[in-house]
């Protein structure tokens, strides 16, 4: 295929999948599935630690994530993850825009799964999307937490911490509620001290100092 046709085809794929920041390096297809291997268009990065220009990108690893389906075909993206060249910050890994850190699917697929679980069970959605149920649950929690981050938490003074079982075999979520506003402000996997630590880190020291009352109904593992 002439180079001009190949470039036009790549542009069409980027437009179809809404990938303006990436180049499509490889397209693979097999029964019911498709895989796109991508490369970032920008060759330089900013340090996520200090925000300084850190020069040429340095490939760290390749990351596979599920994306929205196209027709009857399930789509997988293979994304390059880069490190910044900032020696002062330890050359940290630069987050990708398409997916949250450690997530197994893209942000837009998280949003789609969140909508599907509003009318169906996690198990049914997982079967329909050919995903592991833990991936669906994880995506739902990540998207939910993203929505909660947009709430104003400056006036939270009294909180309740509770655990919710979502699957047989002692699988739990920890929910934190604003007792005065009658709303959930945080959710995370697990029901131990690590779950509470994640909440405190997420809330931040300034807001933590404003908390006056904490009510909890969680088990004591000791």
| Whether residue 133 is found in the same domain as residue 89 | no
- Amino acid 76: pLDDT: 96
C-alpha separations of 146 from 28, 100, 143, 161, 173 in Å: 32, 10, 5, 19, 16
The dihedrals phi and psi of 212, each to the nearest 5 degrees, come to: -105, -30
How far out from the chain centre does Cα 18 lie?
18
The answer to whether residues 214 and 136 belong to one domain is: no
Same-domain check for residues 87 and 107 = no
DSSP state of 96: P
Residue 35's pLDDT is 95
| Domain match, 94 and 22 both | yes
- Cα 161 to Cα 77, 107, 144, 177, 187, distances in angstroms: 37, 27, 17, 6, 10
Q: Which residue ranges in the chain fall short of pLDDT 70?
A: 1-8, 148-150, 166-170, 218-222
Cβ atoms 165, 148 nearer than 8 A: no
Whether residues 51 and 78 share a domain: the answer is yes
Q: Residue 15: what pLDDT?
A: 78
- Do 43 and 82 lie in a common domain? yes
158, 171 in Cβ contact below 8 A?
no
- Same structural domain, 61 and 123: no
Predicted pLDDT at 169: 55
Kindly state whether residues 202 and 219 are assigned to the same domain. yes
Q: What is the DSSP letter of 166?
A: E
Q: Are both 104 and 92 inside the same structural domain?
A: no
Same domain? 79 vs 133: no
Say what the pLDDT of residue 4 is: 53
Which residue, of 82, 98, 114, is where some domain finishes? 98
| Domain end point (choices 112, 135, 150) | 150
Range of the domain at 119: 100-150
The answer to whether residues 89 and 12 belong to one domain is yes
Q: Name the domain count of the chain.
A: 3
Backbone angles phi, psi at 187, to 5 degrees: -145, 140
Predicted confidence at residue 80, as pLDDT, reads 92
Q: What is the pTM of this model?
A: 0.67
190 and 146 in a common domain? no
Query: For residue 168, what pLDDT is reported?
Result: 58
């Amino acid at each position: 295929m002439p180079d001009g046709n190949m470039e036009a085809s790549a542009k069409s794929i980027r437009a179809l999948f809404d990938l303006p920041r990436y180049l499509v390096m490889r397209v693979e297809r097999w029964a019911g599935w498709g895989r796109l291997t991508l490369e970032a268009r920008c060759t330089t990065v900013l340090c996520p630690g200090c925000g300084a220009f850190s020069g040429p990108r340095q490939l760290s690893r390749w990351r596979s994530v599920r994306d929205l389906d196209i027709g009857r075909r399930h789509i997988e993206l293979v994304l390059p993850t880069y490190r910044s060249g900032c020696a002062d910050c330890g050359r940290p890994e630069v987050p990708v825009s398409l997916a949250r850190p450690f997530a197994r699917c893209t942000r837009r697929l998280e949003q789609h799964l969140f909508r599907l679980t509003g009318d169906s069970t996690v198990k049914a959605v997982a079967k329909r999307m050919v995903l592991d149920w833990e991936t669906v649950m994880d995506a739902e929690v990540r998207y939910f937490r993203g929505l909660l981050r947009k709430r104003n938490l400056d006036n939270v003074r009294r909180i309740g911490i509770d655990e919710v079982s979502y699957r047989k075999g002692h699988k739990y979520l920890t929910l934190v509620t604003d007792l005065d506003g009658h709303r959930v402000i945080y959710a995370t996997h697990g029901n131990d001290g690590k779950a509470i630590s994640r909440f405190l880190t997420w809330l931040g020291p300034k807001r933590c100092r404003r908390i006056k009352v904490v009510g909890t109904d969680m088990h004591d593992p000791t």
